[in-house]
Amino acid sequence: MADTARLEELVIAVRRGTRYRTIHEDLIRRVGARELEKRSSFKEAVKTTRSKLHQIGGAYLESGASFDGWRDKLADLPPSATDPLVLKFCRQAMAQHASTRERIPILEEFFHQVLAPLGEIHSVLDLACGLNPLALAWMPLADDVVYHACDIYQDMLDFVSQFLSHCGVENHISMCDLSVACPPQTVQVAFLLKTIPCLEQLDKSIGLRLLDDISAEHLLVSFPARSLGGRAKGMVQNYENHFNQLVAGRGWEIQRFEYSTELAFLVSR
């Protein structure tokens, strides 16, 4: 067990880095404790903790992303998710996060095709949401939808909440460490978009645990079709095999959708 004072010193050291200042503190603490036990020096533990946090989150967000600047721009836009100026703003912002940037070329079809079997959606839980809530206008959501979302970055969540509120959507946004616990809300559909491979950097068993613990009638689970560098290298087949192993024996109804940048599964339970 890592020494408490040493661990708190590591948390402070990690958070000195710009990309790590607003990350869920308990997640830093949990990853850091493990690294302190494995590494021979404090400096190395700080370095490897930052590296692990980068793998699960930091690698996806562009260094130039400015949530304060985006909030200022949003305040001047019409309060409608479907307004052309808001749609343009959303596309520009989503391009600053690797996960949503990869989805932009298929945005017009992705959510409408994958979620079509569900009809109008009245409640959503967006897990490790990133900037995905900015795709609001492209989702088949009911006017009275309640949007729940969580992630590890507080500044990003503040922006997401402001965006949803600006568009008149009831939202409940919170920080969460999915490797410890899943939010308890019961919803119509939960999004787990390209999240399992990231979380498995921390815990190889987390995919199975999440699929069982999420309280939702339907799950939209997806995997990247290419690496961040743009290489396919058999990823679709590998992830499909992995997903099939995770859901084996569950008896769930599963529909498969493949796009140029994403492999998706709609799970009905």
Residue whose entry in the numeric block shows the structure tokens 């494995």: 38
Residues 13 and 85 in one domain: no
Dihedral pair phi/psi, residue 125, rounded to 5°? -125, 110
Alpha-carbon span 252 to 2, nearest angstrom = 41
Residues 172 and 230 in one domain: yes
Q: What is the pTM of this model?
A: 0.92
pLDDT > 60? residue 141 = yes
Residues 19 and 152 in one domain: no
Helix %, strand %, coil % for the chain, to 5? 50, 20, 30
Residues 12 and 116 in one domain: no
Domain CATH for 262: 3.40.50.150
CA of 74: how far to CAs of 104, 166, 197, 211, in Å? 20, 8, 32, 35
Q: Which of residues 179 and 151 earns the better pLDDT score?
A: 151
Residues 38 and 136 in one domain: no
Alpha-carbon span 59 to 198, nearest angstrom = 10
Give 208's contacts (C-beta < 8 A, 6+ positions apart). 246
Alpha-carbon span 49 to 53, nearest angstrom = 6
pLDDT > 80? residue 1 = no
Q: Is residue 185 part of a domain?
A: yes
In total, how many domains does the chain have?
2
Q: Is residue 77 part of a domain?
A: yes
pLDDT > 90? residue 173 = yes
Q: Encode pLDDT of 180-218 as tens digits.
A: 889 999 999 999 999 999 889 888 889 999 999 999 999
**Where among 56, 82, 99 does a domain terminate?**
56
Residues 28 and 98 in one domain: no
Residues 180 and 230 in one domain: yes
Residues 78 and 48 in one domain: no
Alpha-carbon span 142 to 39, nearest angstrom = 51
Which pLDDT score, from 0 to 100, does residue 176 have?
92
Residues 89 and 42 in one domain: no
Alpha-carbon span 188 to 63, nearest angstrom = 34
Domain CATH for 13: 1.10.8
Alpha-carbon span 235 to 217, nearest angstrom = 28
Residue 13's domain comprises 4-56
Q: What is the DSSP letter of 23?
A: B
Residues 225 and 168 in one domain: yes
| Closest CA relative to residue 159, chosen from 133, 180, 178 | 133
Which pLDDT score, from 0 to 100, does residue 18 have?
80
Whether the Cβ atoms of residue 195 and residue 128 lie closer than 8 Å to each other = yes
Alpha-carbon span 189 to 159, nearest angstrom = 22
| Per-residue pLDDT band at 234 (split at 50, 70, 90) | confident
Mean pLDDT of the chain: 92
| % of the chain with per-residue pLDDT over 90 | 78
Which pLDDT score, from 0 to 100, does residue 60 have?
66
Q: Encode pLDDT of 78-112 as tens digits.
A: 999 999 999 999 999 999 888 899 999 999 999 99
The mean per-residue pLDDT over the stretch 162-191 comes to 95
